């Protein structure tokens, strides 16, 4: 939260309710000028000051005139409320009472009120005069004059409750006076501490607590102050704020004016069939950063505003994904007028202005489909901006009552909402999941490819055995020893490391030297007078030198490898073993020549071929051994990726659970819990889709009536009281049974089903890989509190009425998030008790951290949730218009509330007690 708001609607204003001027005889600096006094108030960053001299209004007009001059000269706005601190002659005691009047009043108003209370002389003296009227009558005079009575420094000397510890009838009557709206406190907690009379505490609690500096010199003006929330600074706004002090009065040091990091500033509609049709006068809805409410009768365009925001924010796909009537209605809305929609061909444009961290953007939607989707305000004009992913950059949550009801019927849709929360980091999680899943499928595909290369292993094994028998027989006929020795030495020779190993190593080392260098120093990025260029150039040269030295070391190392190769070759060539090899070869070649001379060349030729074939076959077997090792490794890696996928599911579950704990926690109306892999509502659909089974094989796949099928036990895990801890085991059993059927090693299934899976395993084995990385979604269990008076009793959502279900979902939606939330008629299906106890309370909590835009017919949401900005929607001549937009302290808005909203006046009277509409 940051910044303050200067647009339409309510905001917080800084008030000093008790100040004095030289008109008070005990003022400490009688020579101060009105301008100096006013500047002191401005220096204290006050928005409003109540002028309350002792029994005098002498300085009111002076200050008002000086203030007007200063503001004309450019001084910061400051509103002056004429007032007076009256000394009331009550019995034997004298108490002080503050009276404040509208800024339009002058000093004559103060003099008249004082005269009505019996004060005609000693103006400005707090001790030398007092009213001839009692406390109750004095308050009545203030009320009759249109003012507000406030108990002055209630806990200090001359205060009504100074040194009071018990509540006598007279004091009780004073405090319960309906015309007393507030009291000034020096110690805000004076009557809240342990030991305070409970009845006294209760009576005091009804009063708004405000603070004033009671400044008798200018340097302490604004030393104590209160913040009041209203749309404009007038007495009626103060009156309403004091009446609703729970939400509209704050006594704190920090400025409560702040806005969320992201909020919608406004919506503009141009050239829509029934809205903004005049090209010179588009329909513009200005929005407040906190709670906005749209009210109006049927057909006044409230839903037009919501759907236009949805379209401009590119959130229409979310509604279309739900299908049904909601999607159909939106599609009809988006059609051209010639197709009974509301869009005008190539003319309709919707602009949604959004502020994000002090930057202003405008999302633009055009019926023509051309033009910039996003624009950015440069301080004077809108400029095209790179759109990127609008859904991620400008998150908005938009819900109609029907959407809420759909979520209540199918709570698993809430998981998608949960996963949109930044805390979940779902996008990052999904990327990792996809990467690991892809790796698993690649490994399984590679394993099938490698297994295909092992098909000829048996045939090769037979050939090798026959060859070895032939060779053994040949060797045993007289020249076996020579040939055996030759064969042994040749194998030994072939088993020695190849010379290429040394050459490759030397080459690889030399290859490293090519990378042992830094790129050229980027001189073009430094100005000639850049003070840091020499420093970074020196660092670059040091790095270059270090890498050059390393490159030299690598070259020396490569030369050492080549020397080692030469030494090795020479050592082998000079070895006695090599002499034995050469000798065996010489004897063998002599034997070959002898056999050729004797006519036995064929036999000796065959023997050479046999040994060569055996060597080739052996090499092939060695290659197959490496394939088998690779298969084992791939299998091990595949199992590891499966385990990683389960870990990722557990991580997602933990994130979701933490989110629910942080957001729902001990919510008095709704509780939520997750069961890992428990949502089996779409198991059969997914199973059939993966295996391309259509709607066939019912008894083998799933038959509810016959209570059988490969999926029956899993789908009915809750009915069968299966422990959630064993769900994963049941899922794995389904996968194992499916593989067994495809391999024709399972029993109890129809032959057609077995043949179908066997055929699939032969033609599309990757289908079974896909099944291995599939698990059902986590099951979200939602419980609601049937009776808020019994907060510990929660029941499953399915047992609740439509209203109770909607309330539970609404409680969740309002429990978290900081992005703007737009809700269309959340009160549908809810009784007033739920609206007041649940919706209104959570809206109060929500609007402090996020923007809310609510279309409603219920006055409790508008009034009791204390909307900062109320928009009155009407239809004139077939066109939607914003008839009025203001805060609740505007009388015309209050009139509209009581006129448009059913039960509006009742809600107003309940909130403001005696407040009536004139």
HSE of 561 in the Cβ direction (CA atoms, 13 Å)?
Answer: 17
β-strand pairing of 852-855 with 291-295: parallel
Handedness of CA 398, 402, 404, 410 (dihedral sign): negative
- The pLDDT assigned to 605 comes to 57
DSSP per position, 372-440:
-SEEEE-SSSEEE-----HHHHS--EEEEHHHHHHHHH-TTHHHHHHHTSGGG-HHHHHHHHHHHHHHH
Taking alpha carbons only, the member of 378, 351, 236 closest to residue 284 is 351
> How far is the C-alpha of 751 from the C-alpha of 792, rounded, in Å?
54
Nearby residues of 55 by Cβ (< 8 Å), 6 or more positions away: 84, 85, 86, 87, 114, 119, 122, 123, 124, 125, 126, 129
CA 64 from chain center: how many Å? 49
CB-neighbour burial class of residue 724 (10 A; exposed 0-12, middle 13-18, buried 19+) = middle
β-strand pairing of 249-250 with 262-270: unpaired
> How far is the C-alpha of 69 from the C-alpha of 67, rounded, in Å?
5
> How far is the C-alpha of 322 from the C-alpha of 331, rounded, in Å?
12
Distances (CA, A) of 617 to 156, 464, 469, 621: 108, 6, 14, 6
- The pLDDT assigned to 861 comes to 83
> How far is the C-alpha of 375 from the C-alpha of 223, rounded, in Å?
45
Taking alpha carbons only, the member of 636, 643, 668, 663 closest to residue 817 is 663
- The pLDDT assigned to 918 comes to 32
> How far is the C-alpha of 818 from the C-alpha of 774, rounded, in Å?
33
Taking alpha carbons only, the member of 676, 691, 683 closest to residue 781 is 676
**3-class SS of residue 295:** strand
Name the β-bridge partners of 375: 362, 384
CA 177 from chain center: how many Å? 48
Neighbours of 789 (CB within 10 A): 8
Name the β-bridge partners of 295: 872
Residues in the chain where the model's pLDDT stays below 50: 1-3, 600-602, 913-918
CA dihedral (167, 170, 171, 174) in degrees, to 10, reads 140
- The pLDDT assigned to 478 comes to 52
> How far is the C-alpha of 395 from the C-alpha of 708, rounded, in Å?
46
Q: In this structure, are residues 811 and 670 in contact, taking their beta carbons and an 8 Å threshold? A: yes
Sheet strands (E) in 91-235? 93-100, 148-151, 180-184, 208-210, 226-230
Nearby residues of 341 by Cβ (< 8 Å), 6 or more positions away: 273, 332, 333, 334, 335
Please report which helix (H) or strand (E) contains residue 714, including its range.
helix 712-715
- The pLDDT assigned to 457 comes to 67
Angle at 92 between CA 90 and CA 96, to 5 degrees: 45
> How far is the C-alpha of 194 from the C-alpha of 184, rounded, in Å?
21
* DSSP symbol at 747: -
Distances (CA, A) of 819 to 310, 393, 848: 14, 11, 12
Q: In this structure, are residues 125 and 62 in contact, taking their beta carbons and an 8 Å threshold? A: no
- The pLDDT assigned to 596 comes to 66
Radius of gyration of the chain (CA): 44
Neighbours of 831 (CB within 10 A): 13
Q: In this structure, are residues 18 and 207 in contact, taking their beta carbons and an 8 Å threshold? A: no
């Amino acid at each position: 939260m940051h910044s303050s708001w200067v647009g339409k609607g309510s905001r917080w204003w800084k008030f000093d309710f008790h100040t004095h001027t030289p008109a008070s005889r005990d003022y400490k600096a009688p020579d101060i000028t009105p301008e100096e006094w006013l500047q002191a108030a401005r220096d204290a960053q006050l928005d409003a000051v109540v002028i309350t001299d002792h029994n005098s209004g002498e300085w009111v007009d002076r200050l008002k005139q000086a203030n007007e001059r200063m503001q004309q000269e450019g001084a910061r706005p400051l509103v002056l409320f004429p007032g007076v601190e009256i000394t009331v002659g009550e019995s034997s005691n004298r108490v002080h009472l503050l009276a404040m009047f509208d800024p339009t009043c002058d000093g004559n108003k103060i003099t008249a009120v004082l005269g009505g209370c019996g004060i005609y002389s000693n103006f400005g003296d707090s001790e030398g005069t007092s009213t001839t009227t009692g406390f109750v009558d004095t308050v009545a005079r203030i009320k009759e004059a249109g003012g507000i009575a406030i108990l002055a420094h209630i806990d200090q000397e001359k205060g009504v409750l100074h040194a009071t510890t018990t509540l006598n009838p007279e004091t009780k009557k004073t405090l319960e006076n309906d015309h007393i709206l507030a009291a000034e406190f020096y110690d805000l907690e004076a009557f809240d501490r342990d030991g305070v009379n409970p009845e006294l505490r209760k009576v005091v609690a009804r009063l708004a607590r405000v603070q004033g500096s009671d400044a008798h010199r200018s340097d302490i003006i604004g030393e104590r102050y209160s913040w009041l929330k209203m749309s404009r600074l007038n007495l009626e706004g103060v009156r309403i704020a004091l009446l609703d002090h729970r939400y509209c009065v704050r006594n704190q040091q920090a400025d409560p004016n702040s806005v969320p990091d992201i909020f919608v500033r406004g919506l503009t509609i141009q050239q829509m069939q029934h809205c903004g049709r005049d090209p010179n006068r588009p329909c513009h809805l200005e929005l407040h950063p906190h709670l906005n409410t749209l009210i109006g009768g049927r057909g006044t365009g409230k839903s037009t505003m919501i759907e236009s925001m949805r379209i401009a924010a590119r959130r229409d796909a979310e509604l279309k994904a739900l299908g049904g009537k909601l999607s159909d209605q939106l599609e009809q809305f988006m059609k051209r007028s010639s197709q009974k929609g509301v869009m005008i061909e190539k003319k309709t444009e919707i602009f949604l202005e959004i502020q994000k961290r002090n930057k202003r953007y405008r999302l633009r939607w055009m019926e023509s489909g051309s033009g910039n989707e996003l624009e950015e305000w440069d301080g004077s004009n809108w400029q095209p901006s790179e759109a990127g992913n609008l859904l991620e950059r400008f998150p908005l949550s938009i819900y109609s009552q029907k959407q809420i009801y759909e979520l209540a019927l199918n709570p698993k849709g809430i998981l998608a909402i949960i996963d949109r929360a930044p805390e979940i980091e779902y996008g990052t999680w999904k990327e990792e999941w996809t990467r690991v899943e892809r790796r698993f499928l690649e490994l399984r595909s590679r394993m099938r490819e490698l297994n295909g290369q092992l098909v000829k292993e048996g045939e090769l094994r037979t050939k090798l055995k026959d060859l070895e028998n032939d060779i053994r027989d040949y060797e045993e006929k007289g020249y076996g020893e020579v040939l055996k020795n030759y064969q042994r030495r040749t194998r030994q020779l072939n088993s020695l490391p190849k010379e290429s190993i040394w050459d490759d190593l030397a080459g690889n080392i030399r290859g490293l030297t090519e990378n042992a260098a830094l790129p050229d120093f980027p001189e073009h990025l430094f100005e000639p007078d850049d003070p840091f260029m020499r420093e970074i150039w020196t660092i670059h040269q040091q790095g270059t030198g270090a890498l050059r030295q390393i490159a030299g070391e690598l070259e020396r190392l490569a030369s050492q490898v080549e020397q080692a190769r030469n030494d090795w070759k020479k050592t082998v060539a000079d070895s006695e073993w090599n002499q034995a090899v050469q000798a065996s070869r010489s004897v063998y070649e002599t034997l070959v020549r002898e056999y050729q001379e004797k006519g036995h060349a064929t036999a000796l030729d065959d023997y050479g071929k046999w040994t060569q074939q055996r060597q080739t076959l052996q090499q092939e077997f060695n290659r197959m051994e490496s394939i088998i090792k690779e298969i084992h490794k791939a299998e091990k890696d595949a199992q590891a990726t499966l385990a990683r996928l389960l870990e990722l599911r557990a991580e997602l579950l933990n994130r979701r659970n933490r989110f629910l704990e942080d957001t729902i926690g001990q919510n008095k109306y709704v509780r939520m819990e997750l069961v890992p892999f428990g949502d089996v509502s779409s198991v059969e659909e997914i199973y059939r889709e993966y295996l391309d089974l259509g709607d066939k094989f019912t008894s083998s796949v799933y038959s509810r009536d016959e209570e059988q099928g490969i999926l029956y036990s899993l789908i009915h895990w809750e009915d069968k009281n299966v422990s959630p801890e064993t769900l994963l085991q049941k899922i794995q059993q389904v996968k194992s049974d499916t593989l067994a059927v495809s391999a024709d090693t399972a029993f109890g299934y129809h032959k057609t089903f077995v043949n179908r899976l066997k055929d699939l395993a032969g033609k599309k084995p990757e289908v079974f890989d896909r099944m291995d990385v599939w698990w059902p979604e986590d099951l979200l269990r939602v419980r609601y509190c049937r009776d808020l008076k019994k907060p510990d009793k929660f029941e499953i959502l399915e047992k609740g009425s439509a209203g109770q279900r909607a309330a539970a979902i609404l409680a969740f939606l309002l429990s978290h998030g900081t992005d703007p939330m737009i809700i269309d008629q959340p009160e549908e299906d809810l009784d007033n008790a739920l609206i007041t106890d649940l919706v209104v309370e959570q809206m109060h909590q929500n609007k402090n951290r996020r923007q809310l835009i609510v279309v409603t017919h219920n006055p409790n949401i508008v009034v009791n949730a204390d909307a900062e900005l109320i928009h009155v929607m009407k239809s004139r001549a077939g066109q939607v218009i914003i008839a009025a937009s203001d805060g609740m302290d505007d009388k015309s808005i209050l009139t509209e509330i009581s006129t448009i909203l059913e039960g509006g006046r009742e809600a107003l009277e309940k909130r403001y007690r005696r407040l009536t509409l004139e």
